[in-house]
Amino acid sequence: MAPTTATKRLCVGLGSMLAAACAAPAQSAPDPATPAATTPPTVAAPAFSDDVEQLVALMTGSFSSRLQAQTDPSYFDIRLHMIPLWTDRDDARWLYVEQAVATAQDAPYRQRVYRVAALEDGTVESAVYTMVEPERFAFAWRDPSTLDALRFEDITRKDGCEVILRVVEPGHYSGSTGERSCKSELRGASYAHSQVTVTEGGVDSWDRGFDDAGQQVWGATQGGYEFRADDPQAPAVGAER
């Protein structure tokens, strides 16, 4: 997708968003002494709350890392789109998520479904689901009616990869996956770890993969991707790379 310096940081996303191909120098893993989340927290009933509604509102829209790519060429200009899905369901808020390199928006490298729900302890869970034949729904952010054909049976939850978010202050959410709960085999990894911050300013996401020894084998090494609300048609940064 770009030269080696940029490829080192192309594992980008939100809530264990794993890119299709990337590698990075070894780096120490998050503190292994922190216990891993072995089972997802119990979802409260109802699964809606003011925090869920505000978080989903902040996550919905079109974003890019264009400004970050302009100041640091080791990051790609990534386009991120999140739109409401299954708005008639009463168990949670659902989002369709699509990501693509700005210079190749006709070939999204990641398509997921998120289930956002309140938990009994006051936190918010963003669970991640893969899709059967996701290419059928490419560009659904342009034409949401495409998602009318997506059935609940067509998605599979990635257990252990849910992001648990806490309210830092009104309009500011921060969280992560369990330290070793999200299994990954990408580039020799044993598990993946994601840190996510959502504010009125945008979405910051840092996804990394680690081997059994806790050494980083893929993902950005200096910090996460910074996604800011943007015009989907804005000129791509790095088209010359």
CATH of the domain at 87: 2.40.128.590
Cross-strand partners of 174: 166, 197
Amino acid 29: pLDDT: 46
Domain range enclosing 54: 4-31+39-229
Amino acid 19: pLDDT: 39
Is residue 241, in this structure, part of any structural domain at all? no
The candidate with the shortest Cα–Cα distance to 113, out of 156, 70, 166, is 156
The candidate with the shortest Cα–Cα distance to 220, out of 80, 10, 21, is 10
Is residue 87, in this structure, part of any structural domain at all? yes
Is residue 240, in this structure, part of any structural domain at all? no
What is the tally of structural domains in the chain? 1
Give how far Cα 143 sits from Cα of 58, 65, 115, Å: 20, 23, 20
Is residue 238, in this structure, part of any structural domain at all? no
Is residue 100, in this structure, part of any structural domain at all? yes
pLDDT at 204 over 60: yes
Is residue 66, in this structure, part of any structural domain at all? yes
Q: What is the Rg, in whole angstroms, of the alpha carbon atoms belonging to the chain?
A: 17
Is residue 237, in this structure, part of any structural domain at all? no
First-to-last alpha carbon distance for the chain, in angstroms, is 9
pLDDT at 42 over 50: no
> 238 pLDDT band (50/70/90 cuts)?
confident
Q: What is the mean pLDDT of the chain?
A: 85
Amino acid 46: pLDDT: 56
119-136: average pLDDT: 97
